[in-house]
Structure 1
Amino acid sequence: MTRALFTLTFAVAAPFWALMLLLPHWSWTARIIRSPLIVLPVLVIYAMLVIPALGDVLPAVLSPTLGGVRDLLGTTDGAAAAWAHMIAFDLFVGRWAWLDSRERGVPALVMAPVLVLTILLGPLGLAAYLGVRTRWAPAAAIPAGEPQRLG
């Protein structure tokens, strides 16, 4: 079952990445990606992998040592759980970056490589987006100009 869950982990996240990358201007993309629940399928997989192994996981995370974490991740169940953990957080970060980029007006062609980097190397994708977002102010921060008088 662990192998099936490992394979399923990215498969349930991939449609959301595809929407952000391939259909960034489609109205349904924004509606779907706006929900933080898009990570729920991956979180369920993570829970299915971690909860039965809490006896092994808790000692490794409550008092982490390099050897203890290595031993945990060196198992099939540990590697599959770590994969689900990474996919869930990468998707959540990618979702935030995509939504934030839409508010700031960052072009989709600028965001595409950032999102791919987030899929492949999550923290580096986040770092790239934090750099990119400094070039675009959020829409609310852009001065609207002089207010119009009525009458």
Structure 2
Amino acid sequence: MTEVLFTLTFAVAAPFWVLMILLPNWSVTARIIKSPLMVAPGLLIYAVLVLPALAEVLPAVLSPTLDGVRELLGGAVGAAAGWAHMIVFDLFVGRWAWLDSRERGVPSLIMAPVLVLTILLGPLGLAAYLIIRGRWTRPATPRPAAAER
């Protein structure tokens, strides 16, 4: 069961990455990615793995030590839960970066490698996006006219 959940974790996230990277200008992509519920399948897998092991997980995260975290993640369930944790958070960060880049007008060809980096090495993808996003500013939102206020 754990092996199946481990394998399923990336499988449920991959379609969203495909949409953001390969089909960024498709209208369906924007509708799907706008919903934060896109991470729900990965969250469910994480919950199925972590909740039954909460008695072991809580002490390790409330008072973390290197040995305690190593022990927690060293088994099949811990590794699968850690993987699900990474996949869900990387997808959420990728979603934020994609949405933010659309608002700022960052070209899709620039975002594609950033999103791939986010899939592979999450925090480095986030760092890359934070570095490049400053080159594109959000368009100023027009203030409502006095009559509309």
TM range (shorter): over 0.9
Cα distance in 2 between the residues matched to 1:76 and 1:138? 44
Aligned pairs (5 A) from 1:85-100: 85-100=85-100
**TM-score normalised per structure 2:** 0.94
Cα distance in 1 between the residues matched to 2:94 and 2:50? 23
The SS at the match of 2:134 is helix
Residue in 1 aligned with 2:22? 22
1:50 Cα deviation (Å)? Answer: 0.0
1:139 Cα deviation (Å)? Answer: 1.9
| 2:10 corresponds to 1:10 | yes
Amino acid in the other structure paired with 1:27: S
Residue in 2 aligned with 1:42? 42
Structure 2 stretches of 5 or more lacking a match?
Answer: none
Residue in 1 aligned with 2:126? 126
The C-alpha deviation readout for 1:9-59, integer Å capped at 9, x for no partner, is 000000000000010000000000000000000000000000000011001
The percent of aligned pairs where both chains have the same amino acid is 77
The C-alpha deviation readout for 1:63-98, integer Å capped at 9, x for no partner, is 100000000110100000000000000000000000
CA RMSD of aligned residues (A): 1.2
The SS at the match of 2:140 is helix
Residue in 2 aligned with 1:73? 73
The SS at the match of 1:139 is coil
Aligned length: 143
Return structure 1 stretches of 4+ with deviation > 4 angstroms. Answer: none
